[in-house]
Amino acid sequence: MVVSNELRTSELPTEGLELGAFEQAGQEAFARLSRDFNPVHLDAVVARRTLFGQPIVHGMHLVLRALETVSGLLPSVAYARIIARFHRPVFLGERLFLQVRPTENGLDLTYVSDGTQLTTISLVARRPEFGDPDWSMAVDHCRTSPREFSIEEMQGYQGVVGLPQKPAEIRAFFPAASQTYGTNRIANLLGITYAIGMEVPGLHSMFATLTVNLLDGVGSDLQFLAKRVTPKLSHVQLQFQSEALSGSSETFVRPRVGAIDFATCRKAVTDGEFRGRCALIVGGSRGLGLLTANLLGAGGAEVVITYRSGEEEAKAAIAVMRENGVAASAIRLDVASPAEAFAGLGSDGISVTDMFYFATPHIFVRKKRLFEDHLLDGFISNYTTNFLSVVEEAKQLAKGGLAVFYPSSDALNNPLKDLAEYYVAKMAGEAVCEMLNRYDDEVNVTVSRLPRLPTDQTATLMNVATDDPVAVLLDICRTMKSRRPNLPNTP
């Protein structure tokens, strides 16, 4: 494919060079090399609480993988300027292609998956390779966990990153790019991802753009500065400077939805108002499910929460409730196959009066068409088939009938194109609930189209008005009680 260091695009596949997929082991190795251990890249449980819903690939890993690929195609050719734009996140396991297009003085590179453009990188100002001279390494004083502070505190925040003391590992990880650009420049680029992911914005960082000018010098550290902060837009502009590069990046602070603590819930309820109830909260280890569990527990109900993957979160939530005198427990439940979990509850003698169904997949997903079959099937399964299976199992543990809460969304009143499958599935779920209420005497289903509430999935970079989740869910808990006439009339 290379003749006289000129790229023949006619010899490249039309869909781009297939790069395969990034996997967990590669994520962890890159994190060790760069010291960027931000959990959004490594921890599936933490990442599910973000707007991405799952771990994402480091933006700098994409840049360096592209440099490695191009350096393999064009030995001895380097570029003095790198401009990257991270349009959409890259997830683990995605089949990736790198499209390469020569420009007047460089290359335009595009990461593509399933026809969707994810990241674009422009390499500008072609020049001979930089070489790989020896360089002194700084004392390594790096954080082991990401910094977390308010966006207002980020203005003017600055520091110095000691570059990774791993030239041999850098060469092993990116051999062609190290030969072309030198391990010192690669180390500087690794310093940038450390600065963003671990220092500022830190824990809740989101990489948007990068512009870097590569210089002829070498050095042992990288300076960074939060030059401009715009809290209203959750935006932080960073500047970088070292002997080997100068540059800037546009980053954002991912929205955070803090859990409402048990003490707040206790203040909201009337003492003992839910005594005599035993509530099963499906998906109760976080978000609205956990808030519901805390409200019911604070009001005297026995609470059983379920989780699918967040065991530690569930254990922590139960510990807090028990410390506050609540009879609380947690079980692992996969709503697609609930029988085993319910068998365990039955053997424990649990008698359920209420069931709240907060199980949900990630709603905002990347797609190409109005309706994607696999998405529609997944949403339908979760909101109808799996819901019915859980109801049937819960009925076996109920005495005197089962009160069920099914959360829908007032967003159904104004559907968005990108959420077509979600809307169809939720409407199907509402129809299922109507049929249960009409023809199943053992259940009484309350359906509520909830207003916009602050959750992991509704959080945005812009400040958007939301309703008070405590008031909304407490009203639902009280409504559920009124629909069970056989419950004792407690205060």
Tens-binned pLDDT, residue by residue, of the chain (491 aa): 343 456 665 566 777 899 999 999 999 999 999 999 999 999 998 888 888 889 999 999 999 999 999 999 998 899 999 999 999 999 999 999 999 999 988 999 999 998 899 999 999 998 988 988 877 766 567 889 999 999 999 999 999 998 877 889 999 999 999 999 999 999 999 999 999 999 999 999 999 999 999 999 998 899 999 999 999 899 999 999 999 999 999 999 987 777 789 999 999 999 999 999 999 999 999 899 999 999 999 999 999 999 998 899 899 999 999 999 999 999 999 999 999 889 888 777 788 999 999 999 888 888 888 999 999 999 999 999 999 999 999 999 998 889 999 999 998 998 888 899 999 999 999 999 999 999 999 999 999 999 988 777 766 655 677 889 999 999 999 998 766 534 444 33
C-beta atoms surrounding 488 within 10 Å:
7
Sign of the alpha-carbon dihedral angle for 337, 341, 345, 348: positive
pLDDT of residue 380: 96
pLDDT of residue 459: 63
What's the N-to-C CA distance of the chain in angstroms?
A: 80
Cα–Cα dist 387/358, whole Å: 10
pLDDT of residue 309: 85
Cα–Cα dist 429/382, whole Å: 9
Cα–Cα dist 303/355, whole Å: 10
Cα–Cα dist 415/471, whole Å: 25
Contact 303, 327 (CB under 8 A): yes
Cα–Cα dist 41/23, whole Å: 11
Q: Could you tell me where the DSSP H helices lie in 53-195? A: 59-73, 151-154, 167-173, 175-181, 183-194
Q: Of 143, 162, 148, 155, which Cα lies nearest the Cα of 238? A: 155
Residue position matching structure tokens 């990257």: 84
Orientation angle between helical segments 420-439 and 373-380, nearest 10 degrees: 30
Q: Of 87, 91, 105, which Cα lies nearest the Cα of 23? A: 91
Contact 70, 98 (CB under 8 A): no
Contact 191, 164 (CB under 8 A): yes
pLDDT of residue 487: 41
Contact 236, 164 (CB under 8 A): no
Residue position matching structure tokens 């060790």: 32
Cα 400 off chain centre by? 41
> What b-and-e string marks burial along 38-77, b requiring 16 or more CB atoms within 10 Å of the CB?
bbbbbeebbbbbbbbbebbbbbbbbbbbbbbbbbbbbeeb
Cα–Cα dist 354/62, whole Å: 48
Cα–Cα dist 81/127, whole Å: 10
Contact 254, 204 (CB under 8 A): yes
Q: Nearest 5°: phi and psi at 241?
A: -150, 135
Residue spans per domain, the chain? 2-253, 262-482
pLDDT of residue 489: 42
| Cβ-proximal residues to 333 (8 Å cutoff; 6+ apart), any chain | 282, 306, 307, 308, 341, 390
pLDDT of residue 483: 64
Cα–Cα dist 297/319, whole Å: 12
C-beta atoms surrounding 134 within 10 Å:
10
What DSSP element (H or E) covers 445?
A: strand 443-450
Structure tokens at 455: 């959750």
Domain 2-253 fold is Thiol Ester Dehydrase; Chain A (3.10.129)
Orientation angle between helical segments 386-395 and 420-439, nearest 10 degrees: 30
pLDDT of residue 281: 97
pLDDT of residue 10: 54
CATH number of 262-482: 3.40.50.720
Task: Report which DSSP code applies to 91.
Answer: B
